[in-house]
Amino acid sequence: MFAELTGEDIHYDKIEAPVDGFEQAVNAFFADELAVGCNVTVPFKEKAFVLSEANCNPEAKTAKAVNTLHREGNALFGYTTDGMGLVADLLNATELKGKRILLIGAGGAARGVVQPLLGSEPELLMITNRTLAKAESIVTDIKHDAFCAVSIEEAKKQLPDVIINCTSASLTGDLPMVSDGLFSQCKLAYDMVYSAKATSFMNYAKEQGARSAKDGFGMLVEQAAAAFTIWTGKTPETAGVIQKLRP
């Protein structure tokens, strides 16, 4: 769909790499002189990072994982596009500059989005987690004056404008670590998980006073658009694609 929108002629297909043969599969793919790039799924994102570590974007270096590979000449470049996709989708719904943003969860999903979020110039970016030490380790790795680890009670005092669930809790219908009063000034509650119906996090946020709630389907499309731009230099219009593919 992106190719049709931008006038590109591409072939994009799935290749199943053996669990113990990822490097060989990548080498075989790029042996084709027409091969420009590929996306990488679990369980190979960490191996893709190792292959492209010398030429990675900051988000990939922080997450130590790569979901997009791009060949330029003889060099292999690695990217994590999830953060780009998240920021693009958030900006479709709200302003981020000068706002207070809270991330819930401190796993790989959170690590991959911190730097793009900081690039949007929030007043404050907070991160919380059941095990606060995990959140603190991300703050230690990504030193920035506007970035800090907080307890959920400390987060409530900051009255966040945007709250992002970076955990997978909604996949099982559970809630991440939240607290009554956390959403009292929230303009947008965002769940990285997506489904045909509102997630448990979205429902709770609305009940608690969030003005709007959104799931991560737009992020999925936007991160793919970011990869397409890396490969082609062209930026596709995503709104129609999101609308057409929306579950």
Pairing type for strands 68-72 and 162-165 reads unpaired
Question: What burial class does residue 168 get, using C-beta atoms within 10 Å of its C-beta: 0-12 exposed, 13-18 middle, 19+ buried?
Answer: middle
Output b/e per residue, 112-140; b: 16+ Cβ within 10 A: bbbbbbbebebebbbbbbeebebbbebbe
Catalytic entry in 14, 45, 99, 143: 45
Cis peptide before 43 (omega within 30 of 0): yes
Contact criterion met (CB below 8 Å) for 46 and 56: no
Is 45 catalytic? The answer is yes
User: E strand or H helix at 83, and its extent?
Assistant: helix 82-91
Contact criterion met (CB below 8 Å) for 210 and 158: no
Name the amino acid, one letter, at 219.
Answer: M
Catalytic residues, which ones? 45
